[in-house]
Structure 1
Amino acid sequence: MKILVTGATGFLGSQLVKALRRDGHTIIILKRSTSDCSRIQDILPDLIPYDTDRGQWEAPFFEQGRIDAIIHTATCYGRNNESNAVMVEANVSFPLKLLDVGMRSGTPVFLNTDTFSSAPVRLSSHLQPYNLTKRQFREWGKCLAETTSLPFINVRLEHMYGPYDSANKFVPSVIKSCLENQPELRLTEGKQTRDFIYVDDVVSAFRVLLAHTAHLPAGFTEYQVGTGSATSIRAFTELAHQMTQSRTVLKFGSIAYKDLEIMHSQADIRLLQALGWNPQVKLEDGLRKVMADFK
């Protein structure tokens, strides 16, 4: 297949394009000319890159022939103080333009990477701009998929983790604190539960969906990607603490819960299981891999 991928220099996208390249697919990536390509440096010569900031985002559809699938993994979290306008452009306007040109060019399927945190009816205030933009594009995809023959596959990820992730995210920051034996780690009470899913299992879910594109239903379909079980933040942190044999003091309850905190999240993976997919990496094994990367 000829597959166009956004966000290929990021945590998920880099692992995804490597796996798809090993599968023998032709991979076209959309990136910025200033993107840090260190995660994909070893396979960059095997990819077909286009720079969106040089006006090349539409060029693949005219220069590369029929594109069999679009996988959108690029996102802007707003963690670097990006303005709301920048987030709307990155998370709504850009993928909507990509979806439009894909429809006009006859691309058979669009796979969108979504997040569990955008699902609640009322969004947590500290993540509201990000989650609002993710929800808005999902609604655009649903609207357009219902009025055309294009299958729009919404891949809703639970709490993904793995090596080479950004150090400021929850899992890497907890492991880093424990490995470095920092004096203390301030946390909420930790009663929130999350469905921790290792990045390799997420990649395998995308591969399964691609393998079934010819048989996926038209219109909008959502696949939830997780292990199907939830672990409390407290249990997760205590496990990481025990596995690292850390001397860091875990100060549960020293941070208040966020406004409208999501207290429980767990994937319903039955649709993916019906396609033959199941998660393979247990939490302890995944944590060992992340710890080995830090060491």
Structure 2
Amino acid sequence: MQTLLITGATGYLGSHLVRTLLAAGHRVAILKRATSNFSRLDDCMPRLAVFNIEDGLDLPFKSLGHINAVIHAATCYGRNGEKASEVFAANTVFPLQLLETAAFFNADSFFNTDTILYKYLNAYSLSKHHFVEWGKSFADTGKISFVNIKLEHMYGAGDDSSKFATYVIRACLNNIDELKLTLGEQQRDFIHIDDAASAYQYLLENADKIGQGFSEFDVGSGQAVSIHDFVNTVHRLTASQTKLDFGAYPYREHELMHSEANLSGLLELGWRRRYDLETGLKQVIELERK
């Protein structure tokens, strides 16, 4: 059993991590904002230690004793009109303060959720890359082990409609008149949320094999599929009447055209994914229908 502190636990990824790690027998604490919506974790409350950021980042470390690992899953995408400085504060300054605190209290490891996006695509990707550089700096000086997780495109039931996969699934299920898209030539690696959470669990439970310093792992299915094929698969599995308008939108500047996880590190630790894309989408579509 490890003592784990998770940020972003009230979000989609974080709430799945909480459930996965509790089920594995770990002692789980979460660090959240006082205003965070706790609905995703209501049923987990009796088994969780809950701390508010506003009460100080040192409080969990003083209250829980030795913390084996901090799992940083909180993020700000900048989708709600946040200023660049606000995105920077959320994605660079806050986790850096937490990293400093974890190192001061001799936590063993800091697990960071990183992006696969081009560094200069937007404020979100730039701020995420900045924090990884700080993580490398801390790890290189021996203050704490830093494990960087480059997470590919997650999908799963109950996610927010601002996420591409969820938006497409719900649009097709609801038979909206038309779904406007790019040409869809860009390739992405889609991973089911349950597989993503289990990958984090494997990394945490094999920290001794990973070793000290800085390390990095891709988390995905290991298979890239074009957006065009992904959307068509969802359209077929939902028997949707929605018209798919590929080419309605241009690609973004610096659009990433191919992303595919290199799973060699995870596979060496014994991790295996449970869902291929079609099986995973069928499960998600069924749950979304309910």
Choose from 259, 281, 284 the match for 1:290. Answer: 284
1:90 deviates by 1.0
Q: Give the secondary-structure state (helix, strand or coil) at the position aligned to 1:195.
A: strand
Name structure 2 gaps, 5 residues minimum: none
Q: Equivalents in 1 of 2:10, 2:22: separation in Å? A: 14
Q: Which runs of 4+ in 1 moved over 2 A?
A: 54-57
Q: Equivalents in 2 of 1:92, 1:158: separation in Å? A: 20
Aligned to 1:69: 69
Counterpart check, 1:154 vs 2:148 = yes
1:55 deviates by 2.5
1:214 deviates by 2.0
Q: Equivalents in 1 of 2:132, 2:283: separation in Å? A: 32
Aligned to 1:226: 220
Q: Is the 8 A contact 1:198 1:286 kept in 2?
A: yes
Q: Is the 8 A contact 1:149 1:218 kept in 2?
A: no
The alignment covers a number of residue pairs equal to 288
1:283 deviates by 0.8
1:289 deviates by 2.3
Q: Is the 8 A contact 1:151 1:216 kept in 2?
A: no
Q: Equivalents in 2 of 1:215, 1:248: separation in Å? A: 49
Choose from 173, 181, 192 the match for 2:175. Answer: 181
Name structure 1 gaps, 5 residues minimum: none
RMSD: 1.1
Aligned to 2:229: 235
1:282 deviates by 1.1
Post-superposition Cα deviations, 1:63-96, rounded to whole Å, max 9, x if no partner, equal 1111111100000011111122221111111111
Q: Equivalents in 2 of 1:140, 1:267: separation in Å? A: 23
Q: Equivalents in 1 of 2:42, 2:57: separation in Å? A: 21
Q: Give the secondary-structure state (helix, strand or coil) at the position aligned to 2:43.
A: coil
Aligned to 2:91: 91
Counterpart check, 1:123 vs 2:117 = no
Post-superposition Cα deviations, 1:95-154, rounded to whole Å, max 9, x if no partner, equal 11111111111101110011111xx3x633xxx100000000001001110111521000
Q: Equivalents in 2 of 1:289, 1:34: separation in Å? A: 32
1:271 deviates by 0.7
Aligned to 2:101: 101
User: TM-score if structure 1 supplies the norm length?
Assistant: 0.95
Q: Equivalents in 2 of 1:40, 1:154: separation in Å? A: 25
Post-superposition Cα deviations, 1:154-206, rounded to whole Å, max 9, x if no partner, equal 01001111112111211111111111111111111100000001111111111
Post-superposition Cα deviations, 1:249-278, rounded to whole Å, max 9, x if no partner, equal 101111111111100000101011110112
Q: Is the 8 A contact 1:190 1:233 kept in 2?
A: yes
Aligned to 2:12: 11
Q: Is the 8 A contact 2:57 2:101 kept in 1?
A: no
Post-superposition Cα deviations, 1:222-273, rounded to whole Å, max 9, x if no partner, equal 0001111100000000000011111111011111111111000001010111
Q: Equivalents in 1 of 2:99, 2:143: separation in Å? A: 13
| Residues 242-257 of structure 1 mapped to structure 2, 5 A cutoff | 242-257=236-251
Aligned to 1:216: 210
| Residues 128-147 of structure 1 mapped to structure 2, 5 A cutoff | 128-147=122-141
